[in-house]
Amino acid sequence: MSNRTEKLNAEFKRYISELLVRKVKDPRITEMFTILDVNCDKELSSAKVYVSIFSTNAEKAAQTFLAICENEHVIRKEISRSMHIRKVPEFKFVLDESLAYSQKIAQVLNEIRKEQNND
The per-residue DSSP string of 15-64 comes to HHHHHHHHT---TT--SEEEEEEEEE-TTSSEEEEEEEEE-S-HHHHHHH
User: In the structure, what pLDDT confidence band is assigned to residue 12 with cuts at 50, 70 and 90?
Assistant: very high
Total tally of structural domains belonging to the chain: 1
Beta bridge partners of 18: none
Q: What percent of the chain has pLDDT over 70?
A: 97
What residue numbers bound the domain in which 39 lies? 3-118
pLDDT digits (tens, 9 = 90+) for 64-115: 999 999 999 999 999 999 888 888 999 999 998 777 777 778 888 888 888 8
Separation of alpha carbons 32 and 108, rounded Å: 25
CATH number at residue 22: 3.30.300.20
Separation of alpha carbons 103 and 57, rounded Å: 15
Question: 102 — alpha (psi -120 to 50), left (phi > 0) or beta?
Answer: alpha
Q: Is the pLDDT of residue 4 over 90?
A: no
Q: Which residue has the higher pLDDT, 15 or 101?
A: 15
- Give me the pLDDT at residue 87, please: 87
Q: Is the pLDDT of residue 56 over 70?
A: yes
- Give me the pLDDT at residue 1, please: 66
